[in-house]
Structure 1
Amino acid sequence: MATNPLSETLISQVEAARDLSNALNDVENLLEATSSAAGPASAIIKHVLNAGGKRIRPRLALLISGSLGGPFPVGFAAASELIHTASLLHDDVIDEGTVRRGQPTARLQWSNTESVLAGDHCLAGAVELIRQEDTAETLSESLKAVQDLVNGELLQLRLRGQLMTKTSEYEDICDLKTACLFVWTARAAARYSGADQATIAAMGEMARKVGLAFQIRDDLLDIAGDEKFGKRLLDDLRQSRMTLPVLVGIEKDTTLLPLLERVFASDEPQSDDLLEVRRKVLESGAIDDVSARIKALSEEGIALLSHLPESPYRDLIEEQIELLGQRVV
């Protein structure tokens, strides 16, 4: 009997989705075991891990390895989420955050000091998971990624309130604070699956495009989104952070400058001023330009997937990147 190519494709897609789901469950089990073994930091770490994160980095690691026919890098996937969790715990202390994923931040539930220490515990746990699989390049690159995260935070702090921030400086922050962990995750997964250096490099660059698009999209939602996404709106303005929507808005409407000066000069900006900045940015047309930038980065990321063999796993990566590139506001 002749086989039906369409049926075979559908079966392959179903099997890939099932295997991915099982691997993600393995990641969750490892995160649960790691956080449960964290002693006094356990409850704080679980407070963040169990709050409904998207697990986009672990998912990316699993899909890349699946595309390359390698075993799922469950340890690396879990490590990427622990490093991300550490950055959230630390960021909320630095930014005096009050809401994370729709619930009070850990620093409010416990304290700033305990949040920082729990974040440190996450980093140590991530290094241990990585060390169990690779003590060479992947471990070394993970430490470099953590250094980049710190450097990104420092650069953002130094540029806080600087109205003349350059777009290139903004993207440097996005590269260091966000994209670097995507890059490490993708390169680690490709290397784990036995990929050659060209493929490892291509997956790293693909992940960089995705990470930049992800951060720019997050910043766009901060000024033009809805609080149903689990994040208080206009926090970047409250923290005197220049983001791409505001930078583009200034280029199109220079009357934003004196208003932003007033907002950034205040420890507690007036709600009316914040809303006026939002209105001017929206009316300037900046949202169209920023959305186009996100879409372009997504398309560039998809193009790099050509370095992976065709498979249902590669199709799933492409679908995820396409969703990222879709206009949200």
Structure 2
Amino acid sequence: MQVTEGKAPFRDYETWYRVTGDLTSGLTPLIVAHGGPGCTHDYVESFAALAGAGRAVIHYDQIGNGRSTRLPEKGAEFWTVDLFLDELTNLIAHLGLGRGYYLLGQSWGGMLGAEFAITRPAGLKALVLADSPASMPVWIEETGRLRDALPEEVKEVLSRHEAAGTTDHPDYARATKAFNARHVCRLDPLPDAVKRTNAAMEADSHVYNLMIGPNEFHITGTLADWSVVNRVHLIEVPTLLISGAFDEATPATVQPFADGIPDVRWHVFPNSSHMPHVEEFDDCMKVVGDFLARCDVEQSTG
């Protein structure tokens, strides 16, 4: 399988990307936007398997993370949704994809993908929103409900450190893992790709801390009020929603997409939490691959 890497100049910075497959194959390529904000592409690299059908799959590290330009000196006012939308638009232009591409966003990547699709950009042919909420206020309510179901001793540690402002304490980090093991990735041991992203986050969580907070359920960052609920009707491309039965992106967080996007379908993976692409890899690749193949046919006949 052909694999190429490069860096796209973006403002005064660079966006690292990897293309698996051949961009000139004739099939519409797929861009994969990772979560966070502040993660790396590693944990979603399994979507590169979709290139086996002859479709080029593009991964990239969003600015501030991974192999792209790091900007630890930048404050919260720098890290905006518009910044990441501009970066995605720039990458599409750099790769010459303006005539047609699909976009898959996972978690925050899906939030970004929804914002992008709402602008009705030229060239976007289909959208996959994977484990993504339409509203952070709803996410906060739902992850709070999931947190309340944790063992009492775990909740006590979380509450004590949140009240004291010591969420950087090792005990707090250990307690957080109890939530993650239920609702982020249920595999034990974690896949190597997920471990790589986790290690990158442990080494540098600057962007995540500013935009989200210390973890998935204690939201203190700039995205706390984010929502596209009243704008999802503007998404005009065919859209696939995927999520897990144990997902921190609960049905309530995904429902506004299902209710508001005109051309939409939703698949829930019964044995997954937030990462069906690794928790139920074969089934996830089939569901996403079949959706993209149908979109190929619709484009060729439409």
> One fold, TM greater than 0.5?
no
Between structure 1 and structure 2, the one with the greater Rg is 1
Between Structure 1 and Structure 2, the one with more strand by share is 2
Q: Which has the higher helix share?
A: 1
TM-score by length of 1: 0.34
